[in-house]
Amino acid sequence: VFEKSCQPPPEFFIIFSKMSCLFQTFTEEKLGQAEKTELDTHFENLLSRADCTKNWTEKIYRQTEVVLQPNPGARIEEFLFEKLDRKVPPRPTNGDILGQFMLEAAKEFGPGTPYGSTLIKVGDCQRRLGGAEREFLQTSSISFLTPLRNFLEGDWRTISKERRLLENRRLDLDACKARLKKAKTAEAKAAAVPDFQETRPCHYVLSASASALWNEELDKAEHELRVAQTEFDRQAEVTRLLLEGISNTHVNHLHCLCEFVEVQAMYYSQCHKYMQELQKELGRKSPHSLEVNSHPAGSPTDPSAFPQLNSPSPLKTDTLQIEEVQPPASGTRKAKVLYDYDAADSNELSLRADELITVYTVPGMDSDWLIGERGNQKGTVPVTYLELLS
């Protein structure tokens, strides 16, 4: 009873025999000992293009993930939440955290102090930048990463499955071809060399029975070959249609790529707008203004070295009529431009690094600004972008 229960079912031997035949055919093809059914050139090109599309899509997808989320731990956490089909908890951006730290520091230093009030302005800007970054990450993930992932986890898996099935059909076809070839060889050999003698006519009966067996085997092999060829052709057509759909995939990815560029451009434009607003709010002072303003009074780089008339209140640069301003008879100086500067309006003068311009001031003008002249061009320029020459 134990031996009978341990015996495998008859289907096992059929499957094992078929797998052994396929493995033998595959090995003989690799060794060049068996005929291999070749695919046409167009089909091979479709396969090559599909593999190329998969490889580069995977690389672009992975690197885009790194760009959008440089923290590998955060990427692993998002992956686990996605596999568990749970919503990813909101995570503050680096800008949000920096802005929060600045606001807390401002409370400690005192919001009424110059440093504290500036921390509040910069911290608020950093929080707005963090919000813009968060919106950019969400939109980019939906418009660009999701279509790429859907291709890799959906369309490409279907293509791979059908390609594996086509390879099995090809091995079946090649095995049937080999079986038919062996049957034809055995039949021809039995017909050419009959195994009988006149003294032993019983051998003639045996040879005739063998010939009939080989004929039956030949008919069976031809039938299996026709069936295998039909299945191979059908599977090849299914795989071909899927591979030709790669062109539509390229069109879809092109559309998603354009959307990603638009979202990215909008994000950087928004960040630039926030920084411009912050710069105007801080009076366009660059970090180098501390170095320039730290020069002692009366030095060649000190703006107070210019003769000025006392005024009740400094004039704002946007209230000056540049066309009506005339250089004083004395007090003009040469200045070297330290950094490039783009004029924000028609009253300002754009600057290029390392060029020399003539500068002077007018009564009541803001000490952070000077009038600059370059040829026939004239406009206000920020002091922090200049090195005043003696």
Span 74-102, pLDDT tens digits: 777 777 777 777 777 778 888 899 999 99
Q: 355 near 374, Cβ under 8 Å?
A: yes
294 lies in some domain: no
Band of residue 305 on the pLDDT scale cut at 50, 70, 90? very low
Residue 191 identity (one-letter amino acid): A
| 334 bridge partner residues | 358
Residue 16 lies in a domain: no
Q: Is 3 a residue whose pLDDT tops 60?
A: no
Which has more confidence, 36 or 386?
Answer: 386
**Whole-number Å distance between alpha carbons of 96 and 126:** 6
Quote the number of domains for the chain: 2
Whether residue 55 sits in one domain with residue 118: yes
Q: How much is the pLDDT for 159?
A: 95
Written as one letter, the residue type at 290 is L
Residue 17 lies in a domain: no
CA distance 318 to 347: 7
Range of 6-10, 26-30, 35-39, 70-74 with top mean pLDDT: 35-39
Domain check: are 362 and 255 in the same one? no
The amino acid present at 30, given as its one-letter code, is: K
CATH code for the domain in which residue 374 is found:
2.30.30.40
Of 107-121, 285-299, 313-327, 347-361, minimum mean pLDDT range: 285-299
Instruction: Report the pLDDT averaged over residues 112-118.
Output: 88
Q: How high is the pLDDT of residue 192? A: 67
- How many Å apart are CA 1 and CA 69, to the nearest integer? 64
- Report CA dihedral (261, 267, 270, 271) to the nearest 10 degrees: -120
Whether 345 and 267 share a structural domain: no
Average confidence (pLDDT) over 222-247: 93
Taking the C-alpha atoms of residue 123 and residue 104, their distance in angstroms, rounded to an integer, is 9
Residue 161 within a domain: yes
Cα 324 versus chain centre, distance: 55
Position with higher pLDDT, 158 vs 298? 158
Q: How far apart are CA 67 and CA 145, in angstroms?
A: 12
Q: Is residue 24, in this structure, part of any structural domain at all? A: no
CB atoms within 10 A of CB 209: 10
- Please indicate, yes or no, if residue 131 is contained in any of the structural domains: yes
Note the pLDDT of residue 50.
95
Q: What is the span of the domain harbouring residue 170?
A: 38-192+213-284
Alpha carbons 310 and 238: distance in angstroms, whole number: 89
pLDDT of residue 317: 46
| b/e sequence 151-175, b meaning 16+ C-beta within 10 Å | beeebbeebeebbeebeebbbbbbb
> Are 368 and 380 a contacting pair, CB within 8 Å?
no
Select the more confidently predicted residue: 354 or 299. 354
Residue 254 domain flag: yes
pLDDT higher than 50, residue 49: yes
* DSSP code of residue 57: H
Whole-number Cα distances in Å, 256 to 5, 69, 329 = 60, 19, 63
Query: One-letter amino acid identity for 169?
Result: R
Can you tell me which residue has the tokens 């008859």? 10
pLDDT of residue 64: 93
